[in-house]
Structure 1
Amino acid sequence: MPREIDYEICTRYLRGEASLEEAQAVRAWLADPANELLAHYWMSQQIQEFETVRHDAGHDPHNYSGMWATIAARTQLEETPAASPSRLAGWRRWAAAAAVVGAVASTGWLVHERNQAMEPVTARYVTPYGQTRVVQLPDGSQVTLNSHSTVRYAATADPGRPREVWLDGEAYFSVKHLPDHKPFVVHTSAGLQVEVLGTKFTVYRRHEQARVVLLSGKVQVAFADTTKAKVILKPGELLETTDQNPSKVVHQAVQAATYADWTDGKLVFDATTIADIATRLEDTYGVEVVVASPALRQRKFTGTFPSNNLDLLCENLAATFNLQIARRENQLILSNHPSSHPTP
C-alpha cells in the first residue's frame, strides 16, 4: 500500500531529514499531476516560514528574487546570503520537485522582484476534449473535471476568505468538511455560486446554461441578482437556470447519480433527445454534430456507453434509428438512412 504523504513528511524531505523510504514516496507522490496544487500550497507555506525566520534574524524579508527567477526557469535556486547550506539544499529539492510535476509552468508562479511582497498564486487546470482529470485541492477536497473544462483555485490560503474555486465547464466536487467550518464556494460565470460545508455535487456551466445537482450533503445556491432568494438543495435535487431566461429557476428532484456517471468513464442517456446527445458529443469530443432534420433532433435514445468509444455510440444510434452517420474531418452528420421513411 502506498505511503500516505502529508505536510510533515514533505517538510522532512525539504530539510534533507527524510528516510530513504519517505524520500522515494515523496518523489512518487510529486510525479502524480493530481497532486500539483497541494504541492504548490505546501511550497508556499515553506516559503512563508523561510521568510519569517529570515525577517526575525534581521535580514531583508523580500530579497529572494533570484530564488523565484530560477524556479521559473526550472533550475537550481541561486544562493542567497542569509540562507544556510542545508536550507538551500531543501529549496533545491522543491525546485526539482516542481520540475518533475511541471508545476512552475502550468500554474504561473510569479517571479517577484526585490522589495516586493509575495502575492497569492492561482492554480489553473484545464482538460482537453475527450479527457477527464482528478485534482486534489489543498484542503483535502477533490475535483473531477469533465472534458473541455477549467477550474481555478487559490494556491495560497487566506484565513479571512472561504475556500473558493472558479469553474467553466463541468465538474464533480467531493468537498472535505473542515473543523473550523470554513465554507467552500464554487463560482460560475452564470452569476450563480454554490456554497457548501461538506458534500458531493456536480456543477455544469456551458451553452448559456447553469446546473447544480446534489448527490449528498447540503448546498446553498446564491445568485448575482440579489433579489432572488437563495435556494437550499437536498440530496437528489437539481437547480437549473439559463442566460436567456434568468428569472426562471428550475428546482426539482432527479436521478442525481446519472449526472455524475461521466466520472466513471460513462456516457449515460435516459430518454435523451438526439439534440441533447449532439450537444454532449460536442462538449465531450470537440466535434461538430449536424442533425439533418428538426424531427430527428427530437427523437429520444436510452443507453450507456464507455466515453472513450465514440464509434460504438454512433453504431448504436445508427442501428436504433436507421440513421446514416457521415464523418467529414471534425464533423458528424446525422441523417435518416435513404432506405428509411422520414420521421413524422
Structure 2
Amino acid sequence: MSGLTTPAETAAVQAWLADPANQAQAQAWMRRHWDRLAATPEAQQPAVEEPDYDALLNTLHLKLGLGEPARYVAPAAPRWRQWAAAAALAGTVAGGGWLLYSQRPVAPREVATAYGQVNTIKLPDGSEATLNGHSTLRYANAWAANQPREVWLDGEGYFSVKHQPNNQRFVVHTRAGFAVEVLGTKFTVYRRRDQARVVLLSGKVRVDFDDQQRPDVILKPGELLETRDAQPLAAVHKAVRTAPYAAWKDAQLVLDETSMAELATRLQDTYGVEVVVSNPELAQRRMTGTVPVGDLDVLLQALQETFHLRATREAGRIVLADNTVPTK
C-alpha cells in the first residue's frame, strides 16, 4: 500500500503511533484482524513460531525514527494469528497505507457537501449514498469481489445498498466507535458533535462496536441505535418512526414531538448558522409536522407559519422566539 499517502498523512500516522496511549488501540485493531484471518485456510496450518511483540513494535518505532515505544502486554491469542496480524500492522505502518480509519482514511475518492447542500453519489457497485449538508464520504474507486465494500462517513448519510450475488459485505465506518455492516438495505447513519445513530428503514444491519467486549447489535426495520460519547456504554436501541430521520433526502423536515432545542441543533448542523432559542420554555416546546427544506429563508418562513414562531436574523445568527398572541 506504499505510495498512497501524502507526507502529511504519513506524519499523522507516525504521530499517532508514537503516543503510548494508542498502543492498546493498535492491539485491539490487530485482534480484529486476527478474527478475520481465522476464517482463512492458513488457520488450519501448524502454528507459526510467535515473535516477540514488544521487539517487533520496537523495531518498527526505530525504523520510523520514533524511539522506543511504551510497553504494552497483550492478551494471549493463537500464535499463527498473532504473527500474521503483527506482520500486517508492521507492513501497513511502514508502507504508509490504510491504517487508522478512525483518524483519516486514505481513500482515492472524497465527496463533501456544503452547508445546506444535499448530494447523491453513485457508488462503484451501483449502491447510492445521499449526503446531508456539511458531510463527507470517502471510498475507493472500485471494490474487489473478495473484499468488503467500505466507506467512511463524517456527518449524515442515507444509504441504499445493492445486494451482491456473493453476499459481499457493505461497511460504513464512523468516528463514533462503531461500524455498520449490511448486505442489502436502506438506512441512515448520523455522526455529529457527541452523538451518533443508525436508523434502519428496510433490510437488516449489524452494528459492530470497536470495543470487542461489547456485543454486536442487530437492527430490524423501524429501529434506531443511538450512542453518545459521554456515555459510550449507554446505547439506546428502540423502535421509532423513520420519517424524521430520512426525510431530509427528499427535501423535507419531518418533526415528530421534536423539541425546539433539537430543531435548533439540526439547523446549525445542516446550514452552518448559529441558532438561538429565546427562552428555556420555548426550547422545551415539542412540535410535530412537516415543512419543506431547501433555501434557509424559505425553511424559516415555513417554520414561522406552521409553528407560530418568529425567526429573526441578527448579528450573523438566527433567534427563534414565540410568536403566539396571548388571549385576552
Distance (whole Å) between structure 2 residues aligned to residue 339 and residue 129 of structure 1: 34
Per-residue deviation, residues 171-190 of structure 1 (Å, max 9, x unmatched)? 11011111111100000000
Instruction: State the match for 2:49 in structure 1.
Output: none
Instruction: State the match for 1:202 in structure 2.
Output: 188
Instruction: State the match for 2:258 in structure 1.
Output: 272
- Residue identity in the other structure for 2:273: V
The offset of 1:258, in angstroms, is: 3.1
Instruction: State the match for 2:126 in structure 1.
Output: 140
SS in 2 for 1:179: coil
Distance (whole Å) between structure 1 residues aligned to residue 302 and residue 120 of structure 2: 30
- Residue identity in the other structure for 1:144: T
Which runs of 5 or more residues in structure 1 are unaligned? 1-118
The offset of 1:292, in angstroms, is: 2.0
Instruction: State the match for 2:275 in structure 1.
Output: 289
Instruction: State the match for 2:12 in structure 1.
Output: none
The offset of 1:233, in angstroms, is: 0.6
User: 1:88-167, aligned counterparts within 5 Å?
Assistant: 122-167=108-153
| Equivalent residue for 2:165, pick from 170, 179, 183 | 179
User: 1:206-217, aligned counterparts within 5 Å?
Assistant: 206-217=192-203
Instruction: State the match for 1:306 in structure 2.
Output: 292
User: 1:43-122, aligned counterparts within 5 Å?
Assistant: 122=108
The offset of 1:339, in angstroms, is: 6.9
**Which protein has the larger Cα radius of gyration, Structure 1 or Structure 2?**
1
The offset of 1:315, in angstroms, is: 3.4
SS in 1 for 2:233: coil
- Residue identity in the other structure for 2:166: D
Structure-2 change in CA distance of 1:187 and 1:179 (3 Å): same
Structure-2 change in CA distance of 1:245 and 1:178 (3 Å): same
- Residue identity in the other structure for 2:282: L
Distance (whole Å) between structure 2 residues aligned to residue 156 and residue 309 of structure 1: 35
Name the % identity: 56
* Native 8 Å contact 1:172 1:263 kept in 2: yes
Distance (whole Å) between structure 2 residues aligned to residue 339 and residue 303 of structure 1: 21
Distance (whole Å) between structure 2 residues aligned to residue 337 and residue 189 of structure 1: 40
Instruction: State the match for 2:22 in structure 1.
Output: none
| Equivalent residue for 1:238, pick from 196, 216, 224 | 224
TM-score w.r.t. the length of structure 2 is: 0.63
Distance (whole Å) between structure 1 residues aligned to residue 142 and residue 151 of structure 2: 13
* Native 8 Å contact 1:129 1:284 kept in 2: yes
Instruction: State the match for 2:240 in structure 1.
Output: 254
The offset of 1:260, in angstroms, is: 1.1
The offset of 1:306, in angstroms, is: 1.4
Moved segments of 4+, more than 6 Å: none
Distance (whole Å) between structure 1 residues aligned to residue 277 and residue 223 of structure 2: 31
SS in 1 for 2:231: coil
Structure-2 change in CA distance of 1:236 and 1:164 (3 Å): same
Structure-2 change in CA distance of 1:266 and 1:317 (3 Å): closer
The offset of 1:286, in angstroms, is: 1.2
Distance (whole Å) between structure 2 residues aligned to residue 171 and residue 322 of structure 1: 31
Structure-2 change in CA distance of 1:338 and 1:268 (3 Å): closer
The offset of 1:324, in angstroms, is: 3.7
The offset of 1:157, in angstroms, is: 2.8
TM-score w.r.t. the length of structure 1 is: 0.61
